[in-house]
Structure 1
Amino acid sequence: MDSRIWSGLLALLMLSATTVHASPMLFHGSSILTLDGKPAGHEAMIIEQDLIVALGRFQDLKKAYPQAREVALKGRSVLPGIIDSHVHAAELGASSLYADVTEAQSVADRIAALKAFYPRAKPGE
Structure 2
Amino acid sequence: MMTRSITIVAMILALAGCERLGLVKRGTTIENNVYRGSAKAENRKERDYFIATAGPVSTSLDGAIQAAAHQGVQHCIKYYGTSEIEWTVGPDTDADALAVDNDKITLMGRCIDQ
TM-score by length of 1: 0.21
Structure having the higher Rg: 1
Structure showing the higher helix proportion among its residues? 2
TM-score by length of 2: 0.23
